[in-house]
Amino acid sequence: MQNPVKKVVIVGGGSAGWLTAGVLAAEHFANDHHGIEICLVESPDVNIVGVGEGTWPTMRGTLRKMGISESEFIRECDASFKQGAKFAKWVTGEDDDAYYHPLVLPQGYDQINLVSFWQDHLSHLPFADAVSFQGYLCEHGLAPKQNTTPEYAHVANYAYHLDAGKFTQFLTKHCTEKLGVKHILDHVTGINSADNGDIESLETKKSGQIKGDLFVDCTGFNSLLLGKHYQIPFVSTKHVLFNDTALAVHVPYTEDNAIASHTISTAQSAGWIWDIGLPSRRGVGHVFSSAHISEDQAHQELLDYIRPYLGAKTDDLTPRKIPIEPGHREVFWHKNCVAVGLAAGFLEPLEASALVLVELSAAMISEQMPATRQVMDIVAKRFNEKFQYRWDRIIDFLKLHYILTKRTDTQYWIDNCKAETIPDSLTELLQLWQHHSPWHQDFTQTDEVFPSASYQYVLYGMDFKTDFAATQRRSLNAQLAQQQFEQNKKLTEKLIRGLPSNRELLNKIQEFGLPKI
């Protein structure tokens, strides 16, 4: 082969760098001399952002692919189970305003769309409760499995909450000791170009030149390779998604140390507060628009949220400020350089899309790993098309949460609903859903980031109404729909009786571990 790809150099650590390294090393036999060499270079004194504490169910597959024990991961990364997100005060702002976006599909989703039946007969129940059991599990603080359920298997679909700093340390150890990833702690001082414009090598402070065939930019917001070296333009989405600052803090447990089985997202006057329960603490943060509220006011809203739980100790907390520039690079793979994680872009923490984009990027790079430099441009073109589509759909889905609000109490919520801030693609979907509810054929990709079920949960959780009069078909099976509602009700009752609390299961995993598959 001419110019075979034999060495991948990943620049930057953190979750993005080490997840990418782990997936590539596991699937391309980095610990075998016939495999591809994976080398990760990171500065010894660059701090990771470290607040990406929410994942998707895809993380279970990623960790399994890397040969990681789930029990070991949970113990080492202060991880807990996540079964979805609860959105509070997003619709009216009242105390009783809340809905769930669970991680299970609506009951019978492959057979029947239950929305019209729910609207006609069960609208006194929240949509997620009528068609799924998971909101009930979350409200009862229950785990998604039992201690006899094998690693990565589930009773209810689940993801994780985790300590991002501990996760990075855990991945570093696993990748270097078990997967053959070469780890270089050094400062990158320069980038050397080949005649064709590719990156030929990195200059480092102590290790000299580090050559590679493919370079993966995981340098965070700095975007050292794709952004600074190649000058790939940054496409801002701030005109659509306004939030540009986060204040994050660790909150200790008090007498009530129950671990929430879901992310809690509570809307504020000009943003929202995330609340994530880990075994040892909670991760809480306020993400907001600096154009609509001052940092002092945002800080006060964060403390006001925490005070009912922590009392006078709230004043001892010192939140960390994280600037956010919402948007992404114009392309993600240029020449022999591909950006993953924050180096490619970031929108906001809502719906935990950051880590899943890392997983999806690593998976596609691994699956499509170009055998030679000659085919790399083809792979890059396909990668860019795929991820442009994915970023656009994530932007649509995140914006959906803001434009369905009925809140007019602050300018922030009013501005979010202005037509000029809503992507045309999302406007079209909302017009479509005036007369039929989201369903399988509404999207063009077989591996959509957010499936039609996710749109159903948000739309009808936020009181969206679909007028089915013009599109109602006689083939709709009322009897089948009733069966599905009854089945969901029975399943809910059974699981509430049979599942342990989140805290109880995590304690048992600490002591005994989970059965191996």
Q: Which residue, 82, 160, 79, 55, is CA-closest to 509?
A: 79
Q: What would the mean pLDDT of 34-54 be, rounded to a whole number?
A: 85
Answer whether 265's CB lies under 8 Å from 273's CB. yes
User: How does residue 33 score in pLDDT terms, banded at 50, 70 and 90?
Assistant: confident
Contact 35, 6 (CB under 8 A): no
* pLDDT higher than threshold 70 for residue 48: no
Amino acid making up residue 31: N
**What token pair was written down for 44?**
């010894």
Structure-block tokens of residue 183 = 């780890």
- ∠ CA 85-455-428, nearest 5°, is 145
Mean pLDDT of the chain: 95
What's the pLDDT at 517? 73
Has residue 422 got a pLDDT over 60? yes
* pLDDT of 49 over the 80 cut: no
Q: How far is CA 39 from CA 9, 151, 185, 223, 234, in A?
A: 5, 30, 11, 18, 27
| pTM metric for this prediction | 0.96
Instruction: Choose among 53, 64, 389, 48: nearest CA to 218.
Output: 48
Domains of the chain, by residue range, sit at 7-53+163-236+326-392, 103-155+408-498, 245-323
Q: Is the pLDDT of residue 52 over 90?
A: no
Contact (Cβ atoms closer than 8 angstroms) between residue 219 and residue 345? no
Cα 120 to its chain centre, rounded Å, is 34
254 — pLDDT class (breaks 50, 70, 90): confident
pLDDT at 46: 75
User: Residue 249 phi/psi, 5° resolution?
Assistant: -150, 150
- Say whether pLDDT at 45 is over 90: no
Q: CATH top-level class for 7-53+163-236+326-392?
A: alpha beta
DSSP string computed for 210-235? EE-SEEEE--GGG-IIIIIIT-PPEE
Mean pLDDT of 22-40: 95
Q: What is the pLDDT of residue 445?
A: 86
Length in residues, the chain: 517
Using pLDDT thresholds of 50, 70 and 90, give the confidence band for residue 47. confident
Digit-coded pLDDT (tens) for 465-494: 999 887 665 456 889 999 999 999 999 999
- Structure confidence by residue, pLDDT tens digits, 437-448: 999 999 988 889
Q: How many CB atoms neighbour CB 96 within 10 A?
A: 7
| Low-confidence winner among 113-122, 284-293, 413-422 (lowest mean pLDDT) | 113-122
Predicted local confidence at residue 341, as pLDDT: 96
H or E element, residue 288: strand 282-288
Among 372, 328, 364, CA closest to 233: 328
Find the mean pLDDT for residues 251-270.
93
pLDDT at residue 472, as a whole number: 60
As a whole number of angstroms, the distance between CA 287 and CA 248 comes to 8
> Tens digits of per-residue pLDDT, 105-142?
999 999 999 999 999 989 999 999 999 999 999 999 99
> How confident is the model over 317-344, as a mean pLDDT?
97
pLDDT of 497-506, one tens digit each?
999 999 999 9
Q: Give the pLDDT confidence score for residue 477 in this predicted structure.
A: 87
For the purposes of burial, counting CB atoms within 10 Å of the CB of 420, is it exposed (0-12), middle (13-18) or buried (19 or more)?
exposed
Segment 414-429 mean pLDDT = 98
Q: Would you give the distance in Å from CA 388 to the centre of its chain?
A: 17
**CA distance readout (Å), 241 to 47, 369, 394, 423:** 26, 33, 11, 10
Under a CB-based contact definition with an 8 Å cutoff, are residues 416 and 293 in contact? no
Mean pLDDT over residues 226-248, rounded? 98
